[in-house]
């Protein structure tokens, strides 16, 4: 213990033994805070206390001395546990700092804003259930008024998920100047993921290219949650085809492509399984309920619509998010 703190404690103890006052007890409480700040162990405090008492009361009864010695032995074991707790707390703070850095990194991996495309309205919302997310989305400019859209769900959380997200982002960024099809893009991503992630990790994903000249959406999927196509003319929904295997399991996978044509006011809605696996009254939300929520807000601008859908889902699940939720909408407006 610091010599200054030791002298303060001895002086306070002597004053209290001579004339006990409430002020002394208050001062003792303040002194205990200094002990904590200086990381003084409990057995050190007891040891100073016993030494001070023995000096101030030389003729201390042997029974009292015995009780003080017993207290010191008890506090030695307590002190060991205290030190272990301090080490765990320190490690916890380090981990929290690392997670905060990784969470900040994740935010830099996401697009700063939604891109503009003639005749198309785009909105997206991505909310993490915890500090870090396993969801990812990105946009790629394919030129000639064609926009690539990718949305992925990494099985796993924390720093490994952030590393996987960075790998997907930089791979997708590399595609800017290429005219690869959605199936080829997923095939390339699968090769990279399979080579670089742990066997216990894999990624679901959908990648599509929206051609705003003919309002056609060509896409391929890798085990991802089936998205929806909303037909405004018929006021109905069609599920997107999902026949590709998840990324990272087998190296030589092929990803079949599908095409969807959009009429004015039609929309494509993509999401992660945090949406479909949300629980309402202890049960997974019905897909028809999700369709109903989309229908109720489809008239809004795309960004307002996805935010309203997420908020409604959040309210229905009693403000409990068990998994990350990402919703992306592409709506033809002309």
- Give the three-state DSSP class for 238: strand
The pTM of the full predicted model, rounded to 2 decimals, is 0.73
Residue 24 above 90 pLDDT? no
Per-residue model confidence (pLDDT) at position 62:
81
- DSSP, residue by residue, 35-91: HHHTT--HHHHHHHHHHHHHHH-TT--HHHHHHHHHHHHHHHHHHHHHHHHHHHHHH
Helix (H) or strand (E) holding 279, with range, is strand 279-280
CA angle 25, 26, 28 (to 5 degrees): 65
Rounded to an integer, the average pLDDT of 109-115 is 88
pLDDT digits (tens, 9 = 90+) for 47-102: 888 888 888 888 878 887 787 777 777 777 776 777 777 788 888 888 777 777 76
Confidence of residue 178 (pLDDT cuts 50, 70, 90): low
- To the nearest 10°, the Cα dihedral for 237, 241, 247, 251? -170
Whether the CA torsion 58, 59, 64, 67 is positive or negative: it is positive
Structure-model confidence comparison of residues 142 and 125, the more confident one? 125
pLDDT digits (tens, 9 = 90+) for 216-243: 999 999 999 999 999 999 999 999 998 8
């Amino acid at each position: 213990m610091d010599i200054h703190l030791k002298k303060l404690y001895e002086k306070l103890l002597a004053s209290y033994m001579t004339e006990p006052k409430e002020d002394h007890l208050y001062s003792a409480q303040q002194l205990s805070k200094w002990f904590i700040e200086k990381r003084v162990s409990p057995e050190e405090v007891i040891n100073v206390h016993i030494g001070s008492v023995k000096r101030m009361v030389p003729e201390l009864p042997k029974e009292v001395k015995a009780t003080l010695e017993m207290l010191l032995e008890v506090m030695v074991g307590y002190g060991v546990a205290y030190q272990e707790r301090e080490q765990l707390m320190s490690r916890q703070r380090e981990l929290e700092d690392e997670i905060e850095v990784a969470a900040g990194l994740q935010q830099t991996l996401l697009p700063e804003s939604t891109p503009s495309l003639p005749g198309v309205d785009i909105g997206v919302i991505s909310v993490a259930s915890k500090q870090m997310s396993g969801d990812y989305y990105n946009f790629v400019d394919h030129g000639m008024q064609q926009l690539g859209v990718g949305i992925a769900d990494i099985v796993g959380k924390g720093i490994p998920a952030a590393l996987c997200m960075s790998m997907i982002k930089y791979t997708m960024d590399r595609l800017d100047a290429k005219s690869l099809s959605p199936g080829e893009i997923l095939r390339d991503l699968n090769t990279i993921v399979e080579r670089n992630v742990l066997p216990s990790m894999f990624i679901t994903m959908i990648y599509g290219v929206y051609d705003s000249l003919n309002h056609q959406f060509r896409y391929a999927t890798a085990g991802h949650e089936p998205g929806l196509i909303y037909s405004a003319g018929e006021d109905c929904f069609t599920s997107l085809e999902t026949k590709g295997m998840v990324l990272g399991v087998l190296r030589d996978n092929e990803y079949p492509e599908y095409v969807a044509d959009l009429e004015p006011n039609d929309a494509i809605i993509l999401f992660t399984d945090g949406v479909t696996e949300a629980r309402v009254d202890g049960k997974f939300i019905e897909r028809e309920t999700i369709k109903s929520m989309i229908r109720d807000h489809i008239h809004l601008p795309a960004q307002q619509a996805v935010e309203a859908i997420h908020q409604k889902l959040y309210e229905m699940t009693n403000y409990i998010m068990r998994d990350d939720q990402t919703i992306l909408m592409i709506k033809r407006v002309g």
